[in-house]
Structure 1
Amino acid sequence: MESAVRTLLIVLVLFLSSPALANWHSDDQDIMGTRVSVTLWAEDDATGKAAVKAVMDEMRRIDAEFSPYIDTSQLSRANRLAPKASAAKPLSISPELTRLIDKSLYYSRVSGGAFDITFASLGRYYDYRAKLKPSERQAEELLPAINYEFVKLDKAAGTLYFTHPKVYIDLGGIAKGYAVDRGIEILQQRGIAHANISAGGDSRVMGDKLGRPWIVGIKNPRAEDGVAIKLPLIDCAISTSGDYERYFIDSDGQRVHHILNPRTGKSTQGIASVSIIGPQGFDTDPLSTTVFVLGVEKGLELIEKMPGFDAIIITAEGKVHYSEGLAPPEALPDPQDR
């Protein structure tokens, strides 16, 4: 009897002292004005929890640095000082902000201005909650300030200045894609091999879901909770821009949403959503906005010139267009039904 009790105690001690079994770990938090979600597989609970926390901490850091709504952010500082700077006395900015602006200007150039971070010169006066558009006076004064060529960046020196006094930039079309990439980098450094990080319409998956692909849904733009398309993804990013994210219907029955055409300063019409699939969110995020503004024909033409990227466009009428690299996917069973 005494021997049996001693054996039981030894087994119990070994069980309690052994590391927790590998498991999925996840969290959801409101950061960067959207819902940030992290799901990952870790070999033990401590590693998993620490990894999730590290990603969320990085998301909060990026928000604090590049939000136009935080007075102490690097972006707010640039918007205050770059219009007053000059070629002779440019504003010094961080390598990270330099990288974000440089990538933004690259997509402005390749798209002929369809992607333009200076849209906010006028765009910041839209209030979607209050259902307000900029006044005619504001539009007349500020529309001429929307032009990416007014943003003068010296990438090597890390300096910036604006050549129009009314220029105001917003990184909302690229920062979340950058943030999910940073989250993946942090997980890779910690030895995580299977993960899914999303920030609103931007997601990046690492590895697979333990032998199965990650299933990422593209929202039905005209249904509150519906999914139009389900995609099986492994090791890639996907970004979706939609006219349903921030919008209101004006007195003329027009949908006024946050994806503005830089040439008009008004909401782009004809497209309901654009999803771009590619290697990293730093590219898929700005490309989804770019293709949305360009429209079906010019948008697909741009994507076909970019190896490694694909697009799914849903028009306002509900018609779906795919880039050549994507065959229309078959309907996938709901994971809950498996």
Structure 2
Amino acid sequence: MNKGIFKRIIQNFIRLVTLLVAVCVIAYFLIQISPIDPIQAYVGAGVAVSPEQRENIENFWGGNGSPLKQFLTWSRAVLQGDFGVSLIYRRPVLDIIIEKFNHSILLMGLSWVLSGIIGYTLGLLMGINRGKPGERVMKTICLSLSSTPTFWVGLILLLIFSIGLGWFPVGLSVPIGMLTKEITFFQRVYHALLPALALSFTSFSPVALHTRDKVFTAMESDYVLFARARGEKSKEIIKNHVVHNTLIPAITLQFASFSELFGGSVLVEQVFSYPGLGRAAVEAGLRSDVPLLLGVTLFSALFVFLGNSIANILYQWVDPKIGEMDYE
């Protein structure tokens, strides 16, 4: 194995461990100082219990002792793969995360592909037609959507395509009244398509604007001028030179958008009642499900770190000088 690659793997592993430890400490103690009362959430709102019953419940859930002792107990269990039991679902947190992520990964995957295709296509068109009225309109659309709340875009799409035209279901990830074994992959995609489109509309702008600048730089480069001098047509120049030199940077930037993708999915899943990981995180926060909330927080940090790591690897692959600078 190359020494530089091995060193890079070790550094990424150390960063991941440091990140997860920091997230554990900060998230746990933020919950400790918050008004969340997991015991009352477990009992139920408006239900009174005696001090003895409350103490028994605390002992059962490990809520007794100092915050530091509780944190160490929880950390030791997490290291063993035990994230606790969800107060809402009465099931292991890890099982809930896996189940919900199976829904969210389809939604985020579709959105990731759609935002990449839309962003790169618009960026390519803007770069080729820079300075023209159409380019200004597309740039305005990109800037407007990048500052538009995700839930607002979702509500507009829901009103138009689900309620108005009836082309898509109003919500949920599968048809109502069907057994799991009867649901096809295409039905899942059909239910996830509109929320994925809403999520992609607010995340393709960085790729489009970045590609626009890269395309303009490529169109003004010496090798494109030389290609024109050789008599190559505009379509050939775009295909052989512009796309070749701008596609990889766009894909690299797309991988770096994992954090925005995950954050946006929380709002989109709420709007479309999509039972994914983001909706589970909201329910955990509103209903004081501390074990589930901590588990989702850790998993989201791991997910975002993975996306950023892939983006860094692609950056170093596209430009090896970046990797050399990291290890000087």
TM-score of the superposition, structure 2-length normalised?
0.30
Q: Which structure is higher in helix share?
A: 2
Larger Rg: 2
Q: Which structure is higher in strand share?
A: 1
